[in-house]
Amino acid sequence: MYLERHWHQCEIETIEKLRGLAEQAGESLAKTSLAWVLANPPITSAIIGASHTDQLTGSLAATDLVLDPELTAQLDDTTAGSRWGDAAR
């Protein structure tokens, strides 16, 4: 029921595009996504979850990842339709 209600083909396609952008940058999707969120000035913190030490290590590494401005713009463009209430950047 959760999947049917909240996950549609457009979200799956967006995630696959994000995965491709992260891979092109040589990073994991999780690390790239978290670095992108943390690079957004209005965001002061991010809540992460990890069930394994390697997941936590990867998430913490995102705090040191500086994203290329072109990659940031691609991430912004790719997710524009999924961010509700997002102010213009």
pLDDT tens, position by position, 33-70? 999 999 988 888 899 989 999 999 989 999 999 999 99
Q: pLDDT confidence of 29, banded at 50, 70, 90?
A: very high
Handedness of CA 31, 33, 35, 38 (dihedral sign): negative
**What pLDDT score does 9 carry?**
85
Residue 2 has pLDDT above 80, yes or no: no
Residue 32 CB-density burial (10 A; 0-12 exposed, 13-18 middle, 19+ buried): buried
% the chain with pLDDT above 90? 65
